[in-house]
Amino acid sequence: MSSKRRACPGGAFRAAIIFASSFWLVAAGNAFAASYPERPIKLIVPWAAGGDTDSIYRVFVPLLQKQLGQPVIVANVGGASGTVGEREASKAAPDGYTVFAPHDFIHSVYFAGLTDIKYDKAFDTICLVASTPSVITASPKTSWKTFKEMVAAAKAHPDTITVGASLGSTSQYSIALMAKAAQLKLKYVPYDGTAKRMNALLGGHIDLADSNLTQKAKVDAGLLKFLAIMSEKRSPELPDVPTLKELGYDVEYAVNRGLMVPKGVPAEIRAKLESACATAAKDPSFAEAMKLQGTNVRYLDSKDYTAFLQKEDGVTKEITKDLGLLKRE
C-alpha cells in the first residue's frame, strides 16, 4: 500500500486565489499612492488659531499645497495642552489625508501623564520644519526691567511670581528649566495655547511667560518686556536681549515643529509628503517669513527627524523627572 498522499487540486486553487488577491491588493495600493493626493488634505494643528504654531503653518501651508497640487486645510483642534488634537490625528484613517503638526509637547505630555499616546507608536514622521528659540517675557505691570531684577524679586518672594503656561507642555518646560538653573520657586497658572497666555500677560493677569520674537512689536510699544532669550547666541533681531548663557545660566530651549501622519500610511504616500515638505521648507519666502516670527527654518527629512525626536524624548524624560512631573515611563 502506497504511503504517498495524493495532491489536492483544491489546495492549489486556493493558493492561486490567495496569490491573485495579494497581487491585486498590492497593485491597488500602488495605484492609490500614484494618484495621491486626489482631494484636500487636513492639517491638524493642536492649538488655537492665532498662536505661534498656527501662525507658522499658515505661512507654510500655501507652499506645501503648491507642491502637492491639492488644498491643505488647517484644522485647529486645541485643548488639554495639545492632546485633544493629537488624539484626533492618531485616530484618523492612515490614507495620507490627515497630517499632524506637532511640536515638542508630544514628549512632555506623555511623560507627565497627560496622555497615554506615545508619539512613536501612533505616528510616522514626515519632516521637521522650524525651530523657535524661547524668550522669557514679562508683563509691563511688573516692577523689574531686567532678568537679574526678576531673579532678585523671585528669591526675595518665593512662589509669588506667576507664570502662564500650557501645563506639561513646552511653555512650562522652558520656564521651569530657567527656574531650576536660577534656583527660583515660581507659581504656574494654566492657559491652553499661546494666544490665551499672551492675552493674560498683556492684561497683567500673570507676570511671566514663554514667548518669542513675534511679540517684538508689543515690546517696542511698551506693552511687554523681553528679559532673556534661551538661544545659544543673541538674536540679530533682538540685539539688546541677553541670552541666559551670558547671564550665567547654561540653559537653551527652542520649540521645534514638524509634520507626522498616523501609523499605517503607505510608504509611497509618506515619500510624496516628505518631498513636498522639503521643497516648501527650502522656499526663500518661508525663511523670510520665519525671520519675522523669530523662527529658524530647520528642515530635517523623515529619517533625521525620527532620530532627532528619539534624542529629544530621552532628554525630555530626564527633565520631567528632574521637575518632579514624571508620571509614566
166-190 tens-digit pLDDT: 888 899 999 999 999 999 999 999 9
Query: CATH number for the domain including 45?
Result: 3.40.190.150
118-147 tens-digit pLDDT: 999 999 999 999 999 999 999 999 999 999
pLDDT band at 112 (very low <50, low <70, confident <90, very high): very high
pLDDT value at 26 more than 70: no
- Predicted TM-score of the model (pTM): 0.81
Are 265 and 315 within one domain?
Answer: yes
Are 100 and 142 within one domain?
Answer: no
End of a domain among 167, 195, 229? 229
Structural domain containing residue 273: 34-131+255-322
Residues in the chain: 329
Are 203 and 121 within one domain?
Answer: no
Look at 20 and 168; give whichever has higher pLDDT: 168
Q: Where are the alpha helices (DSSP H) in the chain?
A: 9-35, 52-68, 83-90, 105-111, 119-122, 147-156, 170-182, 194-202, 216-220, 267-281, 284-292, 302-322
Are 153 and 219 within one domain?
Answer: yes
